[in-house]
Amino acid sequence: MLSILLLCTVAVSATATATNHTHASPVENTICGRLPAVCNGTYAERTLEFVDDQALTGTLPPELGNLDLTSIHMWRTNVSGTIPMELSRISELTNLSISWSRISGTLPAGLGNLSRLAELDFYGNRLSGTIPDAISDFSELEELSLGSNDISGTIPAKLGNLSRLTSLYL
């Protein structure tokens, strides 16, 4: 039933299961796998993007952590499940934005080692738990959006140490 598709290198635009991706890319993209199967290639396109694609279901596979991405952008999808800790391996990730979807569970503390992260956006999901102190490790963070979830507890004092933060939606 998994119907998330993974865009990699060259060629393509749409598929039978996930139609009409808005994917602003000068290169064409090829769909070379179905999540959780991950293709093993060279990624000319380093953005994984699914916008307004409610046909996109299934969960985020841990194998995403093997991709050499700079940006993950999903908005208004039917993707569910938890945030795989393996995402913390994508060391050059600057934008992690999965909003208005069905992501649940907690923010893995391990994400704190994504030192280049400028945007962390899980607005409009079903996340629970608290905001980990590790959030203060994102020294480059400009935008933090965690509103419209089930997150509770206090705002970590360390948030005040994020000197680049310009947008905060809690």
Ligand X SMILES: *[C@@H]1O[C@H](CO)[C@@H](O)[C@H](O)[C@H]1NC(C)=O
Residues that bind ligand X (CB under 6 A): 19-20, 40, 54-55, 71, 73, 78, 88-89, 91, 94-95, 110, 113, 118-119, 136, 142-143, 157-158, 161
d(CA 163, CA 57): 36
Smallest distance, ligand X to C-beta of residue 166, A: 8
Structure tokens at 109: 């503390």
Q: Tokens for 101, please give them.
A: 């979807």
Nearer to ligand X, 11 or 85 (CB): 85
- 94/148 with CB nearer ligand X: 94
Find the shortest distance in angstroms from Cβ 30 to ligand X: 16
* E strand or H helix that includes residue 31: strand 30-34
What number of CA atoms fall less than 13 Å from residue 145's CA on the CB side? 17
Of all residues in this chain, which one has the CB nearest to ligand X in the complex?
Answer: 119
CB within 8 A of 42, min separation 6: which ones?
9
Smallest gap from Cβ 151 to ligand X, in A, equals: 19
Q: How far apart are CA 167 and CA 143, in angstroms?
A: 5
Cβ closer to ligand X: 45 or 119? 119
Give the CA distances from residue 15 to residues 30, 33, 43, 110, in Å, rounded to whole numbers and listed in that order.
Answer: 10, 11, 19, 34
Q: Is the dihedral of CA 56, 59, 63, 65 positive or negative?
A: positive
Which C-beta is closer to ligand X: that of 54 or that of 128? 54
Residue 88 CB, nearest distance to ligand X (Å)?
A: 4
- Minimum Å gap between C-beta 147 and ligand X is 15
Decide whether 128 or 161 has the Cβ nearer to ligand X.
161
